[in-house]
Structure 1
Amino acid sequence: MPDHLSHHEALIYVMVMMSAVDKTMADDELERIGSLTRFLPIFRDFARERLIPTARDCAALLDGAEGLDIALEVVREALPARLNDTAYALAVEVAAADHAIRNEEIRFLQLLRDRLDLDKLTCAAIERSAIARFRK
């Protein structure tokens, strides 16, 4: 793991944590992470070859003692405040990829909201927009 994460890496960590929080990283979630890093403007200057190594670094951190708590703190330190809602939105996107939100994912969103000091109204708006986008 690098000493300091870029904002790109921190956002990828959030997506990987969301995918891994239920102990399985589903193919549709991994595909969603790849597509988000390809088309979102925030990743425009991200070196795409860093995606897999960054995801592996995050997974290794999560495997350690208190991995989730440490990873959340690393993300909080790396992200500028203006990207906190972006991180939350990316987590919601990954959670919605398989059209089923599990209890572990809800709990992770709560932890992320609290760690990034996001207000509940902002988070509710992000969640509601995902419901509208992913409705069948």
Structure 2
Amino acid sequence: MALSTQDALIYVMVVTASSDEGISDHELAVIASLIERSPVFDGFDIARLEKVANDAVDETNKTGLDGVLDLAFAAIPKRLHDTAYALAVEVAVVDVQLPQEELRLLEMVRDRLEVDRLVTAAIEASARARMRKA
């Protein structure tokens, strides 16, 4: 099954959110917010989010983490690899503390998408700065 680029980006966010045992309502709300405000999702019907998220979880259960990531990465053009990584980071930092599982997943995403280390460091620093509390 081939995914659209938008669905593939959602798969990456869902897999990131579920890497620490499950997707919280807060993480799902962040994913919805990212979809609503990110230009890469222009034209995406937000009513489809639940179905796409469930499909991502089903695919993970069926093919495992590597299988679902292979499927998603195949549908993401190289010019959007840094975008995919940035979206994954945004979902990962929702909980403020990053468990080992999420850190490993982010490393896997970074390496498999071949995103430059300086770019990933900038994305991570930016996300940390946005999540700080006063």
TM-score between the two structures when normalised by the length of structure 1: 0.94
Deviation string 1:28-67 (CA, Å, 9 cap, x unpaired) is 11110011111111111112222111111100011124x1
Cα RMSD for the two superposed structures: 1.0
Q: For 2:48 and 2:121, how far apart are their aligned partners in 1?
A: 31
In 2, are the aligned partners of 1:10 and 1:75 still within 8 Å (CA)? Answer: yes
Moved over 4 A (4+): none
Q: For 2:42 and 2:116, how far apart are their aligned partners in 1?
A: 28
Q: Residue 73 of structure 1: CA displacement?
A: 0.6
Amino acid at match of 1:38: E
TM-score between the two structures when normalised by the length of structure 2: 0.95
Unaligned runs of 5+ in 1: none
Amino acid at match of 2:11: Y
Residue 27 of structure 1 corresponds to 25
Q: For 2:78 and 2:48, how far apart are their aligned partners in 1?
A: 23
Q: For 2:31 and 2:94, how far apart are their aligned partners in 1?
A: 9
Unaligned runs of 5+ in 2: none
* 2:91 is the counterpart of 1:62: no
Larger relative helix fraction: 2
Q: How many residues align?
A: 133
Superposed, 1:38-117 pairs within 5 Å as 38-65=36-63, 67-117=64-114
1:59 aligns to what SS in structure 2?
A: helix
Q: For 1:119 and 1:40, how far apart are their aligned partners in 2?
A: 22
Q: For 1:36 and 1:56, how far apart are their aligned partners in 2?
A: 18
Q: For 1:32 and 1:48, how far apart are their aligned partners in 2?
A: 13
In 2, are the aligned partners of 1:72 and 1:115 still within 8 Å (CA)? Answer: no
